[in-house]
């Protein structure tokens, strides 16, 4: 179901909540079903709701075969752009369908069938997408683990998912270095209690992996002799994939995505949220190891008949800050979706955006940002340099698609800096106070979604039903707890301030570190920043700012730190007790761009902390530790 031109967001949103079953059953007409559903929404096991129970379909068929059968097989489906190897390749829907069917035959010949788990431990290469879709074709459940993840973290996932097979590659490629995957994979298998039946390994020219006889098989050898496999229908409620997200206990949480609701919701989002039509090119500059890569590199664009870009590179350094503009120009990208972190990196290296002038980026209509809050400075820089609407939107691994967004395919609304705009149709979003009651407009609280969640979200955690309830459903009965803090203003605009554990308590005042970061980011010499609360004997906690300066800035650090302290005092007030900032070369982040504020706080407080498995570069934490020591942290108490 696509909305008609001229339909208002408020009308569509009201309709989606007033009669959710009718709304989503209409959207489901855009999906090919091998058997219609018995119930649109099954509430027989509330609060564990299920969508389209009894229905049967195949996700891979909807992503590939459907377009071929409708006569669009020659349309481009996948564009592989490897900046790190300077290699380009594209696949039509027919070509991608054939490659996927053949690899599905490889897996099936070795015993993989409906419901079996397959771990995909791959770099950003077409074979990663092919492996995911081949699993979907067979009704097998894929679990993609970010390529290059530490062996112990991979072993934990092996023991939880208990896969029959692992699909991997000899290496990944980072700027200036080759990361060999096979030694990590071999160590993970030796550490894990569960052992896979076999591994399929893609040998890349940059590194040759040693193979274990009888267990490891070469991708090219296996596909050369494989018999293509047809699509296997599965229930709408059968799992499509497991995606592990970090848990507070150190044990990763296996987010489950089902087949039916996933296909319905994601196909609906391409036109209604992102405003793209079949045949256009959509680029999510992320990684297949993250939820963005699952939803918007692989599945949603292919469901909608779009060409999708698989980019193996960085926003800067491969080879320069013009990398994104080249990809947009060469591939006629209509919509770009990336993290604010990427744009902050580009802005830091090329503040005046000189590289944009080297390329024709006129095909670009919208820039969507997600993954971290979009600070106003980054928003305005992108708007000014790209001359297109810049749309912040907010979602989570668990939700699979956006909770709040400016749905440009329905109605382009005015942009408010710092806000991902309004709740998306299907999302009954509230701000709840500590008593679980709706908070007044403009008052900070926990962002929570009234159940049932819309299709395409997660029905449960893998083999952890009670943990799912305890983590998400127990604190506010009848609601999904996002664990994000925020406000909804009088116009209904959502402001996601921070994770609830990033709300700091300064002398009894609950303050958002995100609001302070907005102020710091507005300083002309600050390229990137983070604020975390550190322990204080008098006030309980006080904020501490970390600043990364723009390239070429040679002003004294003391002056800049004093200026940002003054800015916070003027804009937020003395109540913030913001009195200290320090300059660092870079900030610690996960590979998906999320700031590791909790780890920074633990270091500053002298607490024990564990090296985050998802950290982009562990050496950064040594730099942070040295910088903190330079200002006398942690203090003895």
Instruction: For the chain, state the CA radius of gyration.
Output: 24
Q: Residue 443 burial (CB < 10 Å; 0-12/13-18/19+)?
A: exposed
Q: What is the DSSP letter of 394?
A: B
Note whether 300 and 447 are same-domain residues: yes
The pairing of strands 117-121 and 165-169 is parallel
pLDDT digits (tens, 9 = 90+) for 356-387: 999 999 999 999 999 877 878 889 999 999 99
- Quote the pLDDT of residue 510: 58
Print the SS3 string covering 320-340. Answer: CCCHHHHHHHHHCEEEEEECH
Q: What is the DSSP letter of 437?
A: P
Other CB atoms closer than 10 Å to residue 440's CB: what's the count?
Answer: 11
SS3 call for 547? strand
Q: Rounded to 5 degrees, what are φ and ψ at 170?
A: -70, -30
Residue 463 covered by a domain: yes
Distance, CA of 70 to CA of 84 (rounded, Å) = 36
Residue 1: the pLDDT is: 39
- Write down the pLDDT at residue 326: 98
Q: Do 512 and 472 share a domain, yes or no?
A: no
Q: Are 477 and 586 contained in the same domain?
A: no
* Whether 453 and 515 share a structural domain: no
Mention every residue, 6+ apart, whose C-beta is less than 8 A from residue 366.
Answer: 274, 275, 334, 335, 336, 388, 389, 390, 391, 408
Within-domain flag for 339: no
By the 8 A CB rule, do 141 and 262 touch? no
Residue 441, domain CATH: 3.40.50.12780
Q: How many CB atoms lie within 10 A of CB 3?
A: 19
CATH number at residue 573: 3.30.300.30
Q: Which DSSP letter does residue 145 get?
A: -
What token pair was written down for 368?
């969507």
Extract the residue ranges of the chain whose pLDDT is less than 70. 1-6, 246-250, 498-503, 507-510, 592, 636-637
Give ∠ CA 543-544-546 in degrees, rounded to 5. 140
C-alpha–C-alpha distance, residues 408 and 475, integer Å: 34
Is residue 79 in a domain? yes
Examine the fold and report which residue of 424, 457, 486 is the final residue of a domain before the chain moves on.
486
How many C-beta neighbours within 10 Å does residue 53 have? 17
CA distances from 413 to 1, 269, 418 (A): 21, 16, 14
Asked if residues 259 and 234 have their Cβ atoms less than 8 Å apart, the reply is yes
Q: At what angle do helices 20-27 and 260-272 cross, to 10 degrees?
A: 80
Q: Do 307 and 410 share a domain, yes or no?
A: yes
Residue 498 lies in a domain: no
pLDDT, residue 616, reads 76
Alpha helices by DSSP H, 28-181: 59-60, 66-69, 93-109, 126-138, 151-161
Whether 256 and 303 share a structural domain? yes
pLDDT tens-digit series, residues 587-629:
998 776 778 888 898 899 988 888 877 777 888 999 999 999 8
Domain span holding position 527: 507-630
Contacts with 566 (C-beta within 8 Å, 6 or more apart), sequence order: none
pLDDT at 167: 98
Residue 255 backbone phi and psi in degrees, to 5: -70, 125
Pairing of strands 253-258, 239-245: antiparallel
C-alpha to C-alpha distance for 222 and 103, rounded to whole angstroms: 8
One domain for residues 135 and 215: yes
In a domain? residue 515: yes
Same domain for 455 and 518, yes or no, is no
Give the integer Cα–Cα distance in Å for 375 and 425: 25
Angle between helices 513-521 and 376-386 (to 10 degrees): 40
Within 233-351, strands assigned E span: 234-235, 239-245, 253-258, 281-284, 307-312, 333-338
User: Is residue 357 in a domain?
Assistant: no
Token pair, residue 154, equals 């991979």
Predicted local confidence at residue 5, as pLDDT: 47
Bridge partners of 281, per DSSP, are: 307, 333
Question: Are residues 114 and 170 both part of a single domain?
Answer: yes
- H/E run at residue 187: helix 182-191
Task: Please state the three-class secondary structure of 335-389 as a single string.
Answer: EEEECHHHHHHHHHHCCCCHHHHHCCCCCCCEEEECCCCCCHHHHHHHHHHHCCC
Contact in structure between 451 and 413 (CB atoms under 8 Å): no
Last residue of a domain, one of 425, 457, 486: 486
The neighbour count for residue 162, using CB atoms within 10 Å, is 17
Q: What angle do CA 463, 466, 469 make, to 5 degrees?
A: 120
Q: Alpha-carbon distance 525 to 393, whole Å?
A: 26
Assigned domain for 370 exists: no
Residue 479 and residue 538 in one domain: no
How many angstroms separate the Cα of 477 from the Cα of each of 469, 481, 483? 10, 9, 14
Shared domain for 292 and 416, answered yes or no, is: yes
* Structure confidence at residue 6 (pLDDT): 57
Q: Are residues 442 and 545 in the same domain?
A: no
- Tokens, residue 238: 């059968």
Nearest to 592 by CA among 613, 609, 562, 622: 613
Number of domains comprising the chain? 2
- Distance CA(401)–CA(309), nearest Å, equals 18
Q: Within a domain: residue 336?
A: no
Helix (H) or strand (E) holding 5: none
Q: Which residues pair with 438 in a beta bridge?
A: 432
């Amino acid at each position: 179901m696509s909305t008609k031109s001229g339909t208002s967001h408020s009308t569509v949103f009201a309709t989606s909540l007033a009669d959710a079953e009718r709304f989503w059953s209409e959207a489901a007409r855009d999906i090919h079903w091998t058997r219609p559903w018995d119930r649109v929404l099954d509430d027989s096991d509330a609060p564990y709701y299920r969508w389209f129970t009894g229905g049967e379909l195949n996700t891979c068929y909807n992503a590939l075969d459907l377009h071929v059968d409708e006569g669009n097989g020659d349309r481009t489906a996948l564009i592989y752009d490897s900046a790190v190897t300077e290699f380009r390749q594209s696949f039509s829907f027919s070509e991608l369908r054939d490659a996927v069917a053949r690899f599905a035959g490889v897996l099936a010949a070795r015993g993989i069938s409906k419901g079996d788990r397959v771990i995909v431990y791959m770099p950003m290469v077409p074979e990663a997408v092919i492996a995911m879709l081949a699993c979907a074709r067979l009704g097998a459940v894929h679990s993609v683990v970010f390529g290059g993840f530490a062996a112990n973290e991979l072993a934990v996932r092996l023991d939880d998912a208990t896969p029959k097979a692992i699909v991997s590659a000899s290496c990944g490629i980072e700027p200036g270095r080759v990361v060999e995957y096979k030694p990590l994979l071999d160590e993970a298998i030796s550490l894990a209690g569960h052992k896979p039946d076999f591994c399929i390994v893609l040998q890349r020219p940059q590194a040759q992996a040693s193979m274990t006889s009888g267990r490891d098989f070469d991708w090219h050898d296996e596909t050369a002799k494989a018999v293509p496999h047809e699509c296997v229908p599965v229930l709408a409620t059968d799992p499509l994939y497991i995606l592990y997200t970090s848990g507070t206990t150190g044990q990763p949480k296996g987010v489950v995505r089902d087949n039916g609701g996933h296909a319905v919701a994601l196909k609906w989002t391409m036109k209604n949220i992102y405003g793209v039509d079949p045949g256009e090119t959509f680029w999510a500059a992320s990684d297949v190891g993250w939820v963005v890569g699952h939803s918007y590199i692989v599945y949603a664009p292919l469901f909608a008949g779009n060409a999708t870009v698989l980019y193996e590179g960085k926003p800067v350094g491969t080879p320069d800050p013009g990398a994104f503009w080249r990809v947009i120009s060469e591939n006629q990208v209509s919509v770009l979706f990336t993290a604010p972190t990427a744009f902050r990196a580009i802005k830091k290296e090329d503040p005046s955006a000189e590289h944009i002038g080297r390329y024709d980026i006129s095909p670009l209509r919208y820039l969507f940002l997600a993954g971290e809050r979009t600070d106003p400075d980054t928003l305005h820089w992108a708007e000014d340099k790209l001359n297109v609407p810049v749309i912040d939107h907010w979602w989570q691994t668990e939700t699979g698609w956006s909770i709040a967004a400016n749905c440009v395919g329905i109605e382009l609304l005015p942009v408010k800096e710092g806000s991902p705009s309004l709740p998306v149709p299907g999302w009954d979003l509230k701000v709840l106070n500590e008593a679980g009651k709706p908070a007044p407009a403009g008052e900070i609280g926990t962002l929570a979604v009234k159940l049932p969640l819309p299709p395409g979200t997660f029905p449960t955690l893998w083999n952890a039903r009670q943990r799912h309830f305890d983590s998400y459903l127990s604190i506010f009965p009848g609601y999904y707890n996002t664990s994000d803090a925020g406000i909804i203003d009088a116009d209904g605009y959502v402001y996601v301030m921070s994770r609830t554990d990033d709300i700091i308590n300064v002398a009894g005042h609950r303050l958002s570190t995100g609001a302070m970061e907005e102020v710091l980011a507005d300083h002309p010499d600050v390229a990137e920043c983070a604020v975390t609360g550190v322990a204080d004997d008098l006030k309980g906690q006080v904020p501490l700012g970390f600043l990364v300066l723009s390239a070429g800035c040679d002003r004294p650090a003391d002056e800049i730190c004093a200026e940002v302290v003054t800015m916070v005092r003027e804009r937020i007030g003395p109540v913030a007790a913001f009195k200290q900032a320090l300059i660092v070369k870079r900030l610690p982040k996960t590979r998906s761009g999320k700031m590791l504020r909790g780890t920074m706080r633990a270091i500053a407080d002298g607490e024990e902390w564990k090296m985050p498995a998802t950290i982009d570069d562990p050496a950064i934490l040594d730099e942070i530790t040295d910088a903190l020591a330079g200002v006398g942290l942690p203090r003895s108490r």
